[in-house]
Structure 1
Amino acid sequence: MRYVNLLILSLCCTVLQGQDALFTTDQTMAMETGATAALMERLHISKKPLSSIDMDALIVSYCEALDPAKIYFTQAEVDGYRQRYANSLDMYIQRGNLTPAFEIFAAFSRHAKERTAFAVAALKDAKLDLNAPGTFPVDRRKLPWPADAAAVDSLWQRRIRLDLLGELFGEDRTSASSDTTAAARSKNRDTVPEVTAERLAEARARLTKRYSKIAGYLKLEAYEVEEVFLNSLTRQYDPHSTFFTKQSLEEFEIQMRNSLCGIGATLQDDEGYCTIKEIMPGGPLALDGRAKTDDRIIAVGQSAKDEPEDIVGMRLNKAISRIRGKQGTEIRLILEPHNGGPRKDIVLKRDQIKLVGQLASARCFDV
């Protein structure tokens, strides 16, 4: 019997070595998970018990939160998670057990690494045909997941072609710096650059570097996975109830102080892109005038001469930490316009931003 147990242990260790390490629920997470469920049951206006929550919808919401562009999971996988966990997920939550959330995230992390390797290999393939017909929807949030692994491969092949064409025909990063005249930028927009072997090699290299970082950007700590999952739970009650980790609470307190140092923009994650949702009047971005609402920030440098770091696929909180900084320091942004125009390379100086739009106001009327 002892030898059988040793054999089983050995086999288990061998299997685990081939997988990403699975997070475990610590005491704090167990307490927070159970408390969140209890508070939603007792204090939410709906008074809905956890047992009445649609766990199928919760699992789908969680998978969408991890994979909003629907380019990692397959429909078969998501259906499998629903079949496996939907009938028991409420009991896991009540007991403060995050194992289902961690297991799904482990699969997501594995897919991120696999897709990174797939993309890098595709860029090295001399047979990559940029003239091949195909489409890749920019917004995939309302589309279904690909049916199977073959469909994911096809999706990524089209995405790679789109990204490579964007690198080739996006405005040259050296041509749109802050001292470039408007006339020169207009001339560049009217000229289609020649696709030389050198330009193609440079575009492949930049894209390879970006893809190589994606798996790292998608890597989360256990507390971040907990936050994603519990917010998927609270969204089943309403879209406004939110679970805060300690780190998110600090971000919330910045907003409550109505002051921060940065570029003067409200940013939002949109399918892995750091997207400008609002430009604050009087801030560095507004004064520069070239950025527009819904433009995407695809790279950030810490000075005019600093090589910009790709932030495509980076978690929004990490991207924001690179954009904020000390007052008066330079920041370089590579922007991808929302209308598909040429890229913009702008250099700004960070400044103190008063979040006046969030302040309460009042007026008195004589009647």
Structure 2
Amino acid sequence: MKFKVLVAALAFIAASGCVYADSETISKVDQLGQAQVTQPVLARQSAESATGKTESATSGSLKKPQKQALSPDIEHAKAAIIVSNILTRFEYDKKPLDTAMSHAIFDEYLKMLDPSKMFFLQSDIEKFSAVKDQMNDMLLSGRLEIPFDIFEIYRDRVEQRFDHVLSTLKDDFDFSVDESFELDRKKSKWVETNEEINDLWRKRVKNDYLRLKLAGSTDQKIKETLSKRYVNNRNQILRMSSEDVSEMFINAYASSTDPHTNYYSPTSAKNFDVQISLSVEGIGAVLQKRDEYGQIREVVPGGPAAKSGQIQPGDRIVAVGQGAKGPMEDVVDWRLDDIVNKIRGKRGSTVRIEIIPAEGGIDGKQKVVTLVRQKVTLEDQAAKYKILEVDNDGQTRKVAVITIPSFYEDFDARARGEENFKSVTRDVRAILEELNKAKVDGIVLDMRNNGGGSLTEAANLSGLFIGGPSPIVQVRTAEGSVSNVRSMKTDMVWDKPLAVLVNRISASASEIFAGAMQDYGRGVVLGDPTWGKGSVQTIRGLNEFLRRPQDEELGSLKWTIQKFFRVNGSSTQVKGIVPDIIFPTVFDAKEMGESSYENAMPWTEIDPASYKPVGDLKPTIVNLARLHKDRVNESGSWKLMQDELDYARKLSEQKVISLNYQTRLEERENMETQRKDFEARRKELGESDVGGFRLDDGLQAGEGNLKEELANEKKRKDNIDIAAKEAANIVADMVNMK
């Protein structure tokens, strides 16, 4: 393989949370591939020599796909070289790409491939270890043949394991034996022999079978379900492309440098753009995989699919054609990402989709729907609100709960100068104006499970509650320079009481916002201690770092460039935001959060910024905490929530599970007794059963009844849970105190 790559890497300047490429070239690679590969290419064993001859198995129409020929190409080589140049020179916490990092990359790559250690044998690991010291050189030179060889061995092992499992599904299990299965094998050792790994898989399948059996499924139905599941799991790996392998290996390096540094292949980069902007050019439908089909899961209101009235949740996609007359391309048994890529396209272009309508069943008559692609906004993932009437101290207060799922912003639309580009600040401003007109007394900003997003949006959203421009967060570069990120120029849109509701999954921009509300004395923070992500990332397309513009797509890199600090000088890194009033939680801080990462940056602090609090809530919080404690001590609903969370946490701590039917049946009967107790208490209290404890049905995503799943999702979205209701009570207390 002889490549010629010119890589400009690059002087940078960091400003306003963005990174820009300078025209000066710091380094270049003139010829990639001139030097001989000194490492031996890892030889792959055939399936027969590795585990003994296995029986090929299929399930119905789910056939085994032809394995793609995998090999690194010039785009993958360029991406590897550019990423290694950026991260060794310009990441906040720079780490040399040396032997120690090479070992970390090796370990991370294997962890990505086989996290439960159920595919590779110890002998595989020993063979791979011969190149453990050379991962760094592969990245720096763009020679990725060996990571691809490792993946191909992994792909063979996946095929072997699942073919073996499928061939044994016809056998019956003895559920009277007292044996167990280890659910969490991350810290387990690699097994030595094929007999051991086959037995490990026997136990895994036995557990999958037992879960379905206990849920009331028949033996025939169980075998059909598991056969389809394992074929799908196998085929998903067999369909992986060279782009996928390259992305995985480069990410093994990226995540070894910093937990929040990621490389996105061209396909993944497009999906990330959709996630952060909440907009996409396509037909306005959310897809999922069901058996060999791409299936419509949701139809986005206002999109081309919804307006046509011809596409409904549950429809299966058979083929896709481009333009009004282009040939229809069969997409049955394709990967979901590949189907999505065929359906998405330029605004104003035509796409034809052949579907099996849901109401006709799998053998129903197929039809072709012609749609014109448009820009679709994913409003269902945007900020929304509900107004509650809270009885408090003999008075009725109107409190709105505003749910903010992420700090989204359509960067491209803003850069193009579009007047009404999508952003969380714009959406919340509009909501606040409506709430002011409705004479709402106070608000709860529900940021639970909000993993962050745009730093600019975190600052601008803060400005709606304290005015601006105001310093919201301090950012420090690797060189030690500190600057303030300020909110936009604005008057205070909401000057009434507010609370911020967070949990362990609230991270990054959520922590910036919650910290600003605390530091400015503007709002009360409620819930769990947050994630503890105190770093700022930028994302750039790798094409920007080539000496000359190139047509090929190389993907994007998101890497850490700054560390952020609250205006009081404290970092949120590792420690997160500690709420003013703590609520019960289901999360284990040892398993979830920044502190669970081995390579997380430490907590530090700097001098406070020059800022002026708009209030002092410390005396108020003392009284709020007292009123909260008195109320929840008398609240059956709060006690029910605590008991359910405690029970869920207890179940999650179970790492080894029995495979004896009678033992598991007794455990399930105990769970059912507990579930009925929770249900009776909930009914007596008049509480919704949404989000309550459910017995395991043994199914995975895409295997259940879609209509029921969507109905339950709608209930969850529409429901105001006990924690949010108590947050509204606390806001009502604030109104009364004011």
TM-score range, shorter chain: 0.5 to 0.7
For the pair shown, which has the larger CA radius of gyration, 1 or 2? 2
Alpha-carbon distance change, 232 to 158 in structure 1, aligned in 2, over 3 angstroms = same
Aligned residue runs from structure 1 range 16-165, under 5 A:
23-82=70-129, 84-126=130-172, 128-165=173-210
- Counterpart of 1:204 in structure 2 is 223
Residue-by-residue CA offset, 1:98-133 (whole Å, 9 max, x unaligned): 11211111011111111111111211124x323333
Q: Secondary structure at the match of 2:208?
A: helix
TM-score normalised according to structure 1 size: 0.61
* Matched letter for residue 258 of structure 1: L
Question: Partners in 2 of 1:49 and 1:88 — Cα distance?
Answer: 14
**How many residue pairs get matched?**
262
Please say if 1:225 is aligned against 2:225: no
Task: Show structure 1 runs of 4+ deviating over 4 A.
Answer: 15-22, 259-263, 302-306, 314-321
Residue-by-residue CA offset, 1:43-69 (whole Å, 9 max, x unaligned): 112332212543222112111111222
Alpha-carbon distance change, 331 to 80 in structure 1, aligned in 2, over 3 angstroms = farther
8 Å Cα contact 2:77-2:143 kept in structure 1 = yes
Q: Structure 1, unaligned stretches of length 5 or more?
A: 1-14, 173-198, 268-282, 285-301, 307-313, 333-350
8 Å Cα contact 1:22-1:102 kept in structure 2 = no
Q: CA deviation at 1:88?
A: 2.2
Residue-by-residue CA offset, 1:313-348 (whole Å, 9 max, x unaligned): x98968999xx9x9xxx999xxxxxxxxxxxxxxxx
Q: Secondary structure at the match of 1:87?
A: helix
- Counterpart of 2:381 in structure 1 is 354
- Identical positions, percent: 22
Q: Secondary structure at the match of 1:235?
A: helix
Q: Secondary structure at the match of 1:54?
A: helix
* Matched letter for residue 224 of structure 2: A
8 Å Cα contact 1:68-1:141 kept in structure 2 = yes
Alpha-carbon distance change, 49 to 25 in structure 1, aligned in 2, over 3 angstroms = same
Aligned residue runs from structure 1 range 171-190, under 5 A:
none
Range that drifts further, 225-234 or 88-97: 88-97
* Matched letter for residue 211 of structure 1: Y
Bigger helix share = 1
Q: Secondary structure at the match of 1:32?
A: helix
8 Å Cα contact 1:259-1:355 kept in structure 2 = no
Q: CA deviation at 1:171?
A: 5.2
Alpha-carbon distance change, 17 to 105 in structure 1, aligned in 2, over 3 angstroms = closer
Alpha-carbon distance change, 318 to 63 in structure 1, aligned in 2, over 3 angstroms = farther
Aligned residue runs from structure 1 range 178-327, under 5 A:
199-219=218-238, 220-259=240-279, 303=313
* Matched letter for residue 38 of structure 1: N
Residue-by-residue CA offset, 1:275-308 (whole Å, 9 max, x unaligned): xxxxxxxx99xxxxxxxxxxxxxxxxx84698xx
Question: Partners in 1 of 2:222 and 2:159 — Cα distance?
Answer: 22
Bigger strand share = 2
- Counterpart of 1:364 in structure 2 is 466
8 Å Cα contact 1:75-1:145 kept in structure 2 = yes
| More RCO (CA 8 Å, sep 6+) | 1
* Matched letter for residue 245 of structure 2: V
TM-score normalised according to structure 2 size: 0.32
Question: Partners in 2 of 1:100 and 1:46 — Cα distance?
Answer: 28
Q: Secondary structure at the match of 1:168?
A: helix
8 Å Cα contact 1:75-1:146 kept in structure 2 = yes
8 Å Cα contact 2:44-2:153 kept in structure 1 = no
Question: Partners in 1 of 2:74 and 2:206 — Cα distance?
Answer: 46
